[in-house]
Amino acid sequence: MSTHQASDSGTVAGMGEFGLIRAVTENRRQPAATLLGPGDDAAVVAAPDGRVVATTDVLVQGVHFRLDWSTPDQVGRKAVAENFADVAAMGAVPTAVLVGLACPPDTPAKVVRELSDGLWAEAQRAGAGVVGGDMVRADQLVVSITALGDLQGREPVTRSGARPGDIVAVSGRLGWAAAGLATLGRGFRSPVAVVNAQRAPEPDYAAGPAAAIAGATSMIDVSDGLLADLGHIAEASGVGIDVRTEHLEVDRKLVDIGTALGADPMTWVLTGGEDHALVATFPSFADLPEGWRRIGAVTMADSGVTVDGEEYHGESGWEHWR
């Protein structure tokens, strides 16, 4: 039996804090941007641009994930993905993550190791490193991620730059994670591609910098729902936004699931979050980067978000404490 297998057979309390830290950090590869990784009081990450994009999210077991629905590896991947999607939405390239982990002392060491594997795998997919963090005791499993990014000399793309006449475009899938959540909630585990969109989304991190280079005037990660997140752009920019449903793709898998569950798949596309697609506005003369597709337009000031020119009746997306 290997050392890793032996350690996985116990609990985090049995391994101890420093044994657990060693288990999840040793023999891991770091990118060139990591000048000093885990093991000291703090990490050192290169910032060639002179500015650092930073964001953070907290995932709580039972609220953001369930271990009877997702593997620990998938939870780790999702935790990093949703943060790096925010970095990409600023037009930046992900460089590093720091991880805060809280869990009960009887948590199996195998769970933490597999969660760590997911964290590292998603960071490597983005070309970034896991550079440090902290571990504490808690009553339930909580994963907190702080992600860093590099603007590479570009100005950040914020939510406040949209102007009337801009086009609205999206990169990535919409509605899949919401359909996956509905499927899991009904006790089903397939179709796997849709369910896995909820368990471990795979944002295209390169789409954000590509949009910035193409002249995007505003951008946001679709985490809470397309209409809800476009509402943030509309409010910050002081504009209206109209989404055209004829431009929204509804995959056949979503149609089939909607039929089986008695749900409208377009509702998932418009209001479902956690796909972590990117939505941005561009000047009307801009050439959209590869993978981006037009879905609407920026309209007159303070007219809110509409769908096919009409007010949308219903919840626009996810909101905590509601």
Can you say which residues are annotated as belonging to the binding site for substrate? 64, 274, 318
Residues of the binding site: 41, 55-57, 64, 86, 133-134, 159, 221, 223-224, 274, 318
What is the three-class DSSP state of 84? helix
Between CA 115 and CA 65, with CA 173 as vertex, the angle to 5 degrees is 30
Task: Give the residue among 38, 152, 50 at the shortest CA–CA distance from 96.
Answer: 38
Which helix (H) or strand (E) covers residue 73, if one does?
Answer: helix 72-89
Rounded CA separation 121/49 (Å): 26
16: CB partners within 8 A, 6+ apart: none
What residues are designated binding site for ATP? 133-134, 159, 223
Report whether 29 contacts 124 (CB < 8 A): yes
Comparing C-alpha atoms, which of 151, 149, 89 is closest to residue 280? 89
| Other Cβ atoms within 10 Å of 212 Cβ, number | 23
Structure tokens at 94: 């992900």
> Residues for the chain: how many in total?
322
Task: Specify binding-site residues for Mg(2+).
Answer: 41, 55-57, 86, 134, 221, 224
36's tokens: 């000093």
Tokens in use for 41? 């009081």
Q: How many other C-beta atoms are found inside a 10 Å radius of the C-beta of residue 47?
A: 16
Instruction: Classify 223 as helix, strand or coil.
Output: coil
3-class DSSP assignment, residue 160 = coil
Element spanning 296, H or E: strand 292-299
In b/e form, how buried is each residue of 101-112, taking b as 16+ CB within 10 angstroms?
A: bbbeeebbbbbb
Q: 218 with 161: CB under 8 angstroms?
A: yes
